[in-house]
């Protein structure tokens, strides 16, 4: 849903940031973690501020953190919840929303 909330001919920032990184988009657990953090099912769109360039824990920061994690953890076999539990405190507000 994060990649399909706008018309198909428009590229959204989630598509640009996540789908462009094959290591992210090809692992269901990472996509599920992104969905849990950033998608608002009531609005059918990303949560407000998820695409921000300055808000702590935004999608750009998530991609950077996951890239760091892959050096130490086998994130591709972890559950989405395990990935969410590893995230630093800057992501706590996203987990609560």
User: What residues does each domain of the chain span?
Assistant: 13-96
Average pLDDT in the 14-24 region?
A: 72
d(CA 33, CA 30): 5
d(CA 86, CA 39): 19
pLDDT at 43: 86
pLDDT, tens only, 41-83 = 888 888 888 888 899 999 889 999 999 999 999 998 999 999 9
pLDDT at 1: 62
Q: What percent of the chain has pLDDT over 90?
A: 41
Q: Count of alpha carbons within 13 Å of 71, Cβ hemisphere only?
A: 4
């Amino acid at each position: 849903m994060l990649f399909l909330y706008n018309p198909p001919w428009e590229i959204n920032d989630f598509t640009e940031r996540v789908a462009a990184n094959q290591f992210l988009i090809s692992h269901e657990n990472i996509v599920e973690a992104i969905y849990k953090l950033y998608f608002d099912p009531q609005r059918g769109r990303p949560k407000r501020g998820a695409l921000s360039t300055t808000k702590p824990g935004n999608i750009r920061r998530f991609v950077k953190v996951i890239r760091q994690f892959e050096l130490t953890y086998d994130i591709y076999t972890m559950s989405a919840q395990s990935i969410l539990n590893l995230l630093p405190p800057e992501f706590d507000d996203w987990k609560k929303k």
